Amino acid sequence: MTNRQRLWRIFGPVIVACVLVALVLVIPWHEHHSNKTIQRAAVSISPTVFKNKSIKTQAIGKKHPYYVPFFGSSELNRMDRFHPAVMAARYHHYRPFLFGAKGTQSLPQLFNMNMMSAQMKNGKAVFIISPQWFVKQGVLPAAFKYYDGTYANLLWLKQANPRSPYDRYTAKRLNQLLGDNGTVGSDARKIAAGKSLNSWDRSLINFKIDLLQNQDNLFSGLNINS
């Protein structure tokens, strides 16, 4: 056996595995989630669902059954007769899709809603506002990072307008909470300074969005608490 053959026997399977993984992540996947998966996700209050897109956009875009997004924070963890899921079960007009837990204040919810803005247009939504949303220092960095996802950040940066004072402030807060490192931090800093993203920035954002979208479609339905 030659040295080349020996090396291939050692490293060949690793190379093939890496190529297969790369193909899985790069090739577009269009996952259609079952009604059972969506129903579990709707009441799971899962960070995985909160950070990703495919399950919630499919749910909010459905007409039968009709899902209404409920945006809140720690109140959604308290299960009693006034809980949205309990009340909805009585009237059968809609099903609540719960977004929020301890730490999901206004900024995490902004990125969450941006991911499904097309599905929410002209629709209904419920907000459960608590005093912690209005504290001077804003959301705590640890709480923000727990519910924040790169996928949501990139989707927001893709459409952020540096001429908008609202977008500049959002980008400033994102940069403060995440720092300058990485694509999100550096691009947020540009938007906060009123600068437009260049073609390279946008190409990198689109490439990363495609990868994260494929991961979302493949894996987001696997880790949902029932």
CA–CA separation, 14 and 190 (whole Å): 40
| Predicted local distance difference test score (pLDDT) of residue 32 | 78
Domain membership flag for residue 203: yes
pLDDT at 88: 74
Q: Is the confidence at residue 28, as pLDDT, over 90? A: no
Task: Note the pLDDT of residue 183.
Answer: 93
Residue 18: inside a domain? no
Show the domain range for 75. 31-219
pLDDT at 203 over 90: yes
Mean pLDDT estimate for the chain: 85
Q: Is the pLDDT of residue 69 over 70?
A: yes
Question: How far is the first Cα of the chain from the last one, in angstroms, to the nearest whole number?
Answer: 54
If you ran DSSP here, which 8-state letter would residue 180 be given?
Answer: S
Residue 14 lies inside a defined structural domain of this protein: no
In this structure, is residue 24 part of a structural domain?
A: no
Phi (first) and psi of residue 92, to 5 degrees: 60, 20
pTM: 0.83
Lowest mean pLDDT among 28-42, 118-132, 153-167: 28-42
Asked whether the predicted pLDDT for residue 174 surpasses 70, the reply is: yes
**Do you know the residue count of the chain?**
226
Query: Which residues fall within 8 angstroms of residue 179, CB to CB, at 6 or more apart?
Result: 185
Contact 191, 162 (CB under 8 A): yes
Which residue blocks in 43-181 are alpha helix, DSSP H? 47-51, 54-60, 84-91, 106-114, 117-120, 141-147, 150-159, 165-178
Residue that wins the pLDDT comparison between 26 and 3 = 3
Strand-pair category, 95-99 with 67-71: parallel
What's the structural domain count of the chain? Answer: 1
Would residue 226 count as lying in a domain?
Answer: no
**pLDDT given for residue 81 in this prediction:** 76
Confidence of residue 83 (pLDDT cuts 50, 70, 90): confident
223 pLDDT band (50/70/90 cuts)? low
- 77 φ, ψ (degrees, to nearest 5): -80, -20
Percent of the chain with pLDDT over 70: 85
Q: Which residue has the higher pLDDT, 186 or 75?
A: 186
Residue 124 lies inside a defined structural domain of this protein? yes
70 is a domain residue: yes
- Edge-to-edge order in the sheet of strand 67-71: 95-99, 67-71, 126-127
Q: What is the DSSP letter of 97?
A: E
Tell me, yes or no, whether 120 lies in a domain. Answer: yes
- Residue 87: predicted pLDDT: 75
pLDDT band at 1; cut points 50, 70, 90: low
